[in-house]
Amino acid sequence: MPKDIVQVEIKRIPLDIEAAGLGMVELADLAASVEKYMLQLQEEGEVDTLKQALLAALHFAALSYLQGQNEGGKRKEEESRVDDLILKLKSALDTTHK
pTM exceeding the 0.75 threshold for the entire prediction: no
First to last CA, the chain: 62
Average pLDDT over residues 34-42: 92
Mean pLDDT of the chain: 84
Average pLDDT over residues 64-85: 79
Q: What percent of the chain has pLDDT over 70?
A: 94
CB atoms within 10 A of CB 52: 21
Per residue in 44-73, pLDDT tens?
998 888 988 998 998 998 888 888 877 777
CB atoms within 10 A of CB 17: 16
Nearest partner of 39 among 29, 30, 49, judged by Cα:
49
Instruction: Note the Cα 71 to chain centre separation in Å.
Output: 10
